[in-house]
């Protein structure tokens, strides 16, 4: 039988790199998605070297650009007859308020709109490859986050961490909305908190938060530990108990009340579909 095909976004460093490595070691054909050609190829070489029997490919896309997300999906669909696992891992914290080329706040665009669009564009192929899995990296940072109609575009009240928290709340609402639209026996959708991990993401959280991040970073979990829950959800024998769930470690956790608000869930889905042109 052909090896399962797994797509991992944000796979050039940190949690995404170790997620790709773990999936390759599990015998899967891994497509590592990155933005920079040199960094993406270097990451591919590292995974290929450490998981010698694996087939590791790359795909390039700037996830801040919805047109690039569409091109990425078209490339994946053209080159791979099946996609068994999609890991929406890519994420950032923008250090200043800025808009993407499509006119959306950058953190929201990369962390939520990009995986929303990519998942929907690949969804038919995932269904054809069933049983398949969609794993999205959210965060405990969603606690206390707020969403309203101005979140995607306006600077009022914006901070790096509030924007990040809002995007992670969207990740959970997206997963729950996706699960309601899927037959969990065919395609499961789950999201997770990876832990507080020593990656470079906190370096861009504004100067004060970044300073604190650098102070505590030596005491945080390592990226390979941060990949553990993504790998668990991608490889657990029976993923159906986790369909629509928010997971910490290997256990289902309760997200904050906003993440369980069905009206907000539907609002986010409807508005996200409108923004990305679905």
Find the length of the chain: 278
- E strand or H helix at 207: helix 207-216
Query: CB of 89 within 8 A of CB of 230?
Result: yes
The reported pLDDT for the residue numbered 115 is 98
pTM of the complete model: 0.91
Query: Residue 157's domain is classified under what CATH number?
Result: 3.40.50.720
Higher pLDDT, 276 or 150: 276
The reported pLDDT for the residue numbered 82 is 97
The reported pLDDT for the residue numbered 11 is 97
The reported pLDDT for the residue numbered 155 is 82
**Gap between the Cα atoms of 134 and 138, Å rounded:** 13
pLDDT range class, residue 55, cuts 50, 70, 90: very high
**Mean per-residue pLDDT for 73-98?**
96
Range of the domain at 95: 5-276
Residue whose structure tokens are 């969609």: 134
What percent of the chain has pLDDT above 70?
89
Nearest to residue 89, comparing CAs of 15, 21, 141?
15
- E strand or H helix at 136: strand 132-137
**Gap between the Cα atoms of 56 and 76, Å rounded:** 14
**Gap between the Cα atoms of 219 and 88, Å rounded:** 26
- Whether residue 220 is predicted with pLDDT greater than 70 in this model: the reply is no
Active site residue ranges? 164
- Among 54-58, 97-101, 110-114, 149-153, where is mean pLDDT lowest? 149-153
- Mean pLDDT of all residues in the chain? 91
**Mean per-residue pLDDT for 210-235?**
69
Domain count, the chain: 1
The reported pLDDT for the residue numbered 49 is 95
């Amino acid at each position: 039988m052909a090896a399962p095909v797994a797509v991992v976004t944000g796979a050039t460093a940190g949690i995404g790199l170790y997620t790709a490595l773990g999936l390759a070691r599990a015998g899967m054909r891994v497509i590592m998605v990155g933005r920079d050609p040199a960094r993406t190829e270097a990451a591919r070489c590292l995974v290929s070297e450490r998981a010698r029997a694996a087939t590791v490919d790359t795909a390039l896309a700037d996830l801040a650009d919805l047109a690039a997300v569409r091109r990425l999906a078209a490339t994946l669909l053209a080159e791979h007859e099946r996609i068994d696992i999609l890991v929406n891992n890519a994420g950032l914290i923008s250090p200043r308020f800025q808009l993407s080329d499509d006119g959306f706040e950058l953190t929201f665009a990369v962390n939520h709109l990009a995986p929303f669009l990519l998942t929907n564009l690949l969804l038919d192929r995932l269904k054809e490859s069933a049983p398949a899995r969609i794993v999205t990296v959210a965060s405990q940072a969603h606690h206390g986050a707020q969403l309203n109609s101005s979140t995607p575009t306006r600077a009022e009240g914006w901070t790096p961490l509030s924007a990040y928290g809002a995007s992670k709340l969207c990740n959970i609402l997206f997963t729950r909305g996706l699960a309601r639209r899927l037959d969990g026996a065919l395609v499961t959708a789950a999201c997770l908190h990876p832990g507080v991990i020593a990656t470079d993401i906190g370096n861009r959280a504004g100067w004060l938060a970044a300073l604190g991040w650098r102070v505590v970073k030596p005491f945080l979990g390592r990226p390979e530990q941060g990949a553990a829950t993504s790998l668990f959800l991608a490889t657990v024998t029976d993923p159906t108990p986790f369909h629509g769930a928010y997971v910490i470690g290997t256990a289902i956790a309760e997200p904050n009340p906003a993440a369980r608000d069905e009206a907000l869930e539907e609002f986010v889905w409807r508005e996200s579909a409108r923004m990305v042109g679905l």
